[in-house]
Structure 1
Amino acid sequence: MKNSQVSSAIHKQVKQAREAFLVLANLENLHKNNVLHELAQALRENSAEILAENARDMAEAQKMLECGELSASACNRVLLNEEKIEQMAQNCESVAALPDPAGKIIQATRLDEGLDLYRVSCPIGVILVIFESRPDVVIQISALALKSGNAVILKGGKEAQNSNRVLAKLIRNTLAKNDTVPENAVSLVESRDEVSQLVKMSSELDLIIPRGSNELVRNIQKNAQVPVLGHADGLCHVYLDQAADEKKSIEVALDSKLDYPAVCNAVETLLVHQKYPVEWLVEILRKMQEAGVELRVCQQTQKRLEKFTELKLKNA
């Protein structure tokens, strides 16, 4: 995209991100880990401010829900609480505990005497990540980007804009206090016009990752002049085999759906072996039903469960 078609503010933001990447890509793992631990602490110390901004978003999201502009699941994804903030902090610490993904020799080939070819992992560059609803994604993506040595530009949904702003500000303030990782390694854009400009900056951006609806992903893939790492719908399955452990299979089936039903990687389908114990299956379905899950089952499963009249089964 020609510079004349890009606003000076966007051009400056991307340039600063590129400069930050060049520093970040060469940092020792210790420095990146220190920043992640500092960010975890900052999240815990600023939880009141985060929750206050999130409350503003939730009030607007509720209005959008009542007007039919936002689904109930999307509205639920906007919500933050003390538990989620602590989880965000722990995620930062978990990422810090991971080995450095950069600089690893993945493959080595001897081409000739004294001539060796190595494949070495390295940071990608400047990444634009577009996502919907969930403000905690700001922390998840930023932590992974910092750890892997990449600069990231974030674009969240308008339904969580106040939460996104406060979290992005928190990250940038943490980086500004640190003398090793540049503040501009993480930045935020908010408008569709800015995204329209960014997706065509093929010489400045290295990758676009859209996270959200199928419509969002396809729209970015259609209009971008930058490589796009897209994804399909969730459609997540769990298979319960006849040889499965009772405790583990029940826990996995329930956790995969009930822990966070609103996200795209919550399980949608249980595939059950015909010899999987019916008593275990009933326990799973009963607890799902109690949690508000609608049970749609095939005819064969309905026959297996016909004597369990407490289960409200619908046709798949």
Structure 2
Amino acid sequence: MNSQVIALTAGEPAGIGPELLVMLAAQAETFPAQLVAVADPELLVSRAQLLGLPLTLHEVSPGDPLPPVRNGHLAVWPVASVVPSEPGVIDARNGGHVLAMLDVAIAACQAGHASAMVTAPLSKAAVIEAGHVGFTGHTEYLRDVCGVEEVVMMLACPGLRVALATTHLPLREVADAITPEGLTRVLGILAHDLTRYFGREAPRIAVCGLNPHAGEGGHLGHEEIDVIIPTLEALRAKGMQLEGPLPADTLFTPRHLDGIDAVLAMYHDQGLPVLKYAGFGQAANITLGLPIVRTSVDHGTALDLAGTGRADVGSLVQAVHVAIEMAAAARD
């Protein structure tokens, strides 16, 4: 039996998450770890039947012995749906079920029953409509449940890592959210975890400006002068290897990325479109700053693809491999 156990949450029941887990089970023997689904077993079986994919489930509880790894077989920690799910049709009554799957996976990681957790995509709207009004996404939920002050979202594909200074905020709120304290925490977590999980002893981080042309010397905004530049200078004085702030439209070019271990973008749609263009379907979403390892896919629920058999499992495969590598490399 493989020593590592990777907990896989199925995400939004009406989306492609459940069938991605079924697809992953079909290639279980290719992973150097044991995969365990955190899902509604009936949903996994129905989706496998719909797509004509072989699936044999083994229902167990966290901490129980796991069955031998075989293609087409999947251990599952059961979490029942509230109501049956139809592919492509969201029912908000299952919003709490989605969070319950996360809670099981988090607790398993905290108890040492899982080495890492990998999440399929969820619907924020469904969770909010189920009554969880303050919910803003996986990243922030994991932060709160794990009891840490700050986490950092980073997406990675071959040759490029992009982390975010702010995550799921309306654009008009981003500038006010860029503070010296926040940037200091984010850059500290990013540098620490690049060393902890990726072996970068003195990581070099390129930092985007917030405004076009990185503020053009104050003519296109003052956030660089008032906040970003002083913060970077203070961190450089403490030994951090930081480049910038650089204009985002030229930072993502080979000359500026040469020798860079990660880029810090100021907001979601500043950095992630570039990353996804470079490696969509082969990228992993990573949450840094947690006491556990968590990765995810680089895409959403894809309701239009659910149940059609046309969903691409590539990003989930990458997320599992990254989680395995991070868990193996983790050091204090």
Which TM bucket (shorter chain)?
A: under 0.3
- Under a length normalisation based on structure 1, what TM-score does the superposition of the two structures give? 0.24
For CA contacts below 8 A with separation 6 or more, give which structure has more relative contact order: 2
User: Hey, which of these two has a bigger chunk of helix by percent?
Assistant: 1
- Under a length normalisation based on structure 2, what TM-score does the superposition of the two structures give? 0.23
